[in-house]
Amino acid sequence: MISSKLPDVGTTIFTTMSQLAAQTGALNLSQGFPDFNGPQALLDAVGRHVAAGHNQYSPMTGLPALRQQVAAKVQRLYGAQVDADQEVTITPGATEAIFCAIQAVVHPGDEVIVFDPCYDSYEPSVQLAGGRCVHVQLGDGDFRIDWQRFADALSPRTRMVILNSPHNPSGALVTHEDLNQLAALIGERDVFVVSDEVYEHLVYDGARHASVLAHEQLYRRAFVVSSFGKTYHVTGWKTGYVIAPPALSAELRKVHQYVNFCGVTPLQCALADFMAAHPEHVEQLPAFYQAKRDLFCGLLAGSRFTFTPTAGTYFQLVDYSHIRPDLDDVQMSLWLTREHGVATIPVSVFYQQAITGQRLVRLCFAKREETLRQAAEKLCAI
């Protein structure tokens, strides 16, 4: 008889909705991936490196040229100097980086504070480390951090806090003032921070991403995680990275070397080449995705859904209270997929305890214009 370490974990809602979309032929605005390719120069570089024989293991910490490009980007965008050798680790996806960071410092009995709604990979990773998640609910409507709630959640057992900004699923942004509040509240406590910043370049309306990398006090105790897949439209490459001070990086690498050991070599080579040749890509990304957001929101303006354009990520929340208030959001997502041909994600799955009466679903607008127009036409017809 198997005694499961994750008895409450089944197939994720993202897999379920993508499978249902495929079965029904619905437009898949559920799972967060583009339906368009990455830059051609980046794709060409992969083939070039495969043909050149760069197909064996890379160093455990990642290809040096790619780690150097990450450090250069951090310096350019955030004014922070990080050591490419001691502080940057390339991982097979951001999820693996988060998992390794948690395993590196969370011990049995420790508590990890997460903010609901939160991404679904956090809690299983904490449970596998023997820890327990303490859920702090974000503001209903604005999804801002209530720092009094956070202060009340702190205890002598608090070992880690997991931040996510820009925030999935809401798109809300953590501000520099928020980071100051966090730094003040954890103060002299022995508390680490995982800052999930995979959507760091998807920030709109002239706002700037507030990175923990640029907050000296917090960075001393932080693992900062990002994603090449999100940034370069190649989510299937499952390549990310984590930046942490040398002592924390050393502990993370002890775990990482026994989980994956290293990332895919030719992909790392291609990313290093592209980042060196096209540093402007990340600077152009906000405008690229804001145009998609504005197009999609403009197309939905005539629908019965209500919404506020998202501040970040490539997700848009919409409220369906005026359409089918009788359905909870899981039922609504199934109904939209089966009856109207648009797959969405229910927001309640990001909560430990769903908010009574909340009627929100998440739509991904990282899609071609044709896809967005087709989806909006279906949604406006409801």
Residue 2 inside a domain? The answer is no
Residue type, 164: N
pLDDT above 70 coverage of the chain, percent: 100
CA gap 305, 382 in Å, rounded: 9
**pTM confidence score:** 0.97
Whether residues 216 and 121 fall in one domain? yes
Domain boundary pick from 224, 245, 277: 277
Q: Give the C-alpha distances (Å, rounded to integers) separating 328 from 323, 331, 344, 348, 349.
A: 12, 5, 13, 9, 11
At which of 212, 245, 277 does a domain end?
277
Q: What is the CATH number of the domain that holds 348?
A: 3.90.1150.10
Instruction: Count the domains in the chain.
Output: 2
In terms of domains, do 82 and 192 share one?
yes
Q: How do residues 55-77 score in pLDDT, each as one tens digit?
A: 999 999 999 999 999 999 999 99
Place of tokens 């804001």: 290
Instruction: Tell me, yes or no, whether 20 and 45 share the same domain.
Output: no
What is the predicted pLDDT for the residue at 215?
98
Query: How many angstroms separate the CA atoms of 253 and 205, rounded?
Result: 37
Residue 368 lies in a domain: yes
Q: Are residues 246 and 309 in the same domain?
A: no
Could you read off the pLDDT of 3-43 as tens digits, one per residue?
A: 899 998 887 888 889 899 999 999 999 989 999 999 999 99
Strand-strand pairing, 158-164 and 192-196: parallel
Task: State the DSSP H helix or E strand holding residue 51, giving kind and residue range, or none if neither.
Answer: helix 40-51
In a domain, 301, yes or no: yes
Domain that holds residue 314: 13-38+281-380
In a domain, 6, yes or no: no
Residues 129 and 102 in one domain: yes
Residue 223 in any domain: the answer is yes
Query: What confidence score (pLDDT) does residue 2 get?
Result: 86
User: What are the E-state strand segments in 207-314?
Assistant: 222-227, 240-243
In a domain, 1, yes or no: no
- What per-residue confidence (pLDDT) applies to 44? 98
Confirm whether 269 is domain-assigned.
Answer: yes
Query: Is 191 found in the same domain as 107?
Result: yes
The rounded radius of gyration (Å) of the Cα atoms in the chain is: 20
Asked if 81 and 115 sit in the same domain, the reply is: yes
Give yes or no: residues 19 and 54 share one domain.
Answer: no
**Are residues 240 and 334 located together in one domain of the fold?**
no
